[in-house]
Every structure is written in structure tokens, then in C-alpha cells.
Amino acid sequence: MNDSSPSRLRCAVLDDFQDAALRSADWSPLEDRVDVVTFRDHIAGEDELAERLAGFDIVVTLRERVPFPGTLLDRLPRLKLLVASGMRNSAIDLAAAERNGVTVCGTASSSTPPVELTWALLLGLARNLVTENGALRTGGPWQSTVGADLHGRRLGVLGLGRIGGRVAQIGLAFGMRVSAWSQNLSQERADEVGVERAPSLEDLLSGSDFLTVHLKLSDRTRGLLGPAELALLKPTAYLVNTSRAAIVDQKALLAALHEGRIAGAGLDVFDIEPLPADHPMRTAPRLLATPHLGYVTQDNYATYYRQAVEDIQAYLAGEPVRRLG
């Protein structure tokens, strides 16, 4: 897809770190009209984004990794279509997009991959898999840790939506006592999933052996777990967050990890992504961290990019689909 001419459109695919976008879907339906260019690096600043995207009519972006505020959209007069994976994106100023004549479309996204990664992190923490694997492969001590049990322990689920509900059901399959809380959690929803509805956030935090976060980021949830809330966790408790970093006060979490006030944390989301090389989360003790892999699976990528192609085709036909806003 490199036969550039004045009549052809240009499409930028952002953050294709694994060089997977063009292999995950069939882009050939676009080859007569669109040149597709993938970017394997992350473009961080607004000035650089404006410069590097200035020559593109279409942009495909992953999740909410790259912000598209009005100030950026105002600087991209050639942009006409913005495709984001998922059907919700708080990083795009939809009003500014409409003002600039930019159509914004989304794609389907499966809740299964983040559920599975949540349990990978939780199990990895509980059984000290990184420590034990590292020791085994480097001639270190044979059995240097004692794992935490799941059966009979209390799993606290913060947010019982699509993802939180499935995480809770897996906890029940492990024989855990599962409790959930959110500001709008009904007893009916708790009963539907088969878990206890905690009477308060404080009860959920103080009673959980494992706490996992599955809330949407909003004004109500931003900073929900601050220093006072994290102090309610048991020193033997583990915290897992595959939702949004800003729900948990990052400085307070780092302090709790360094001071040993919780047993450990499993994180897939961070306040800055990708994490700078000198970010304190990279060297924090008691931390099992992954580089925002919650949605990164073969099936999810196939859905994202297949439907991105469909979105572009529909836009070119004058009938946009899966519009956001």
C-alpha cells in the first residue's frame, strides 16, 4: 500500500508496537484508494503528533493511549476520519472533532482478555512466579518463597460490570469468598453474579485478601483509592489494577509498596504510557507489572483492525458506521 498519488488518501496506524496491524486483518479492500502507514513508535507530544500526522486523512488509534484534544484536532485540517478501538474513548474530544469535520468511529472490543490478564497477575503475585522463575533459571535458591492461598480467602472486586463480574465468577470457581462494591452497585446485580455486596468501600478494602479494580475512570472514581483508602488494606493483601491507573493514587501506592504496607500489587495501567525508563514504577518492590497488555491478544487485534478496515470502507462509501459521539 505505497502507491502514493495526489488522489489517494493516507491512513496512519498509531502505536503498532508489535508490527501486528497489517498482519491482523485484510487491508486489501482499501488498496485502490488508501495508502496505509504504520507507526511502531509512540508519538508522545502534541507538537510531534501535529507534525507527523499533518499529511494523513485517516488515523487509526489504539484505545485511549493517544489523546486527541481540540488543540490537536485544530492543527490537523487534513484529517477526516479517526478510528479508535473500542466504542468508548475519553481521550478524544468529540465536540472538537465534529467542529473540525472529523468523523470518529469505533470497533468492538472483547472483555475476555482483561479478565484473563487480571487472573494472570493475581496468580503470579500469589505464587511469586517471577521470583521463583528467575531463581530457577539463574541457579538461585530452590523454593525461596511461600505462596498465598486463594481458596477460602476474600476477593474484593471494585466494580461489578462486564469485566468485574467475570473476574468475580472465576474467584468463586477457585473457592474464594467474593465481595464487590461500587457507588451504584445494586443488590440485584450482586445476586446475579453470585457474590456478596459489601456495605461500603471501607468494608471491601479492610476485609479483602485480594483486591481487583474494574471501574470506569470518571470524576467520581479518579483518585478513589488514596492514602487513607490504601491504609485500610491488610499488610498481607494484594492489589491488582487492570482498569485505569488514575483510580489509584500512584504516589500513595508507591509508598505502600516501598514501606511494605501491602504484600504486593499487580499493575497493567500507568499514569504515563509507555512508562519512561526512569519511572519509579519500573523499580518498585513487591510489584508485578505488564505494559498495558489487557486488550492485547490475537482475537482482539483481529477484531480491532478488521473493523477499522470496515469503518474506513463505510466512510469512503459515505455511510459511516459505529460512530462515536
What is the chain's pLDDT, residue by residue, as a tens digit (325 residues)? 444 445 799 999 999 999 999 999 999 999 999 999 999 999 989 999 999 999 999 999 998 889 999 999 999 999 999 999 999 898 999 999 999 999 999 999 999 999 999 999 999 999 999 999 999 999 999 999 999 999 999 999 999 999 999 999 999 999 999 999 999 999 999 999 999 999 999 999 999 999 999 999 999 999 999 999 999 999 999 999 999 999 999 999 999 999 999 999 999 999 999 999 999 999 999 999 999 999 999 999 999 999 999 999 999 999 999 999 8
The whole-angstrom separation of Cα 279 and Cα 267 is: 14
Active site residues: 244, 273, 292
The whole-angstrom separation of Cα 31 and Cα 20 is: 18
Asked whether the beta carbons of 124 and 288 are under 8 A apart, the reply is yes
State the pLDDT at residue 7.
Answer: 76
pTM (2 decimals)? 0.92
State the pLDDT at residue 96.
Answer: 98
State the pLDDT at residue 6.
Answer: 52
- Give the contacts of 282 (CB within 8 A, at least 6 positions apart): 275, 289
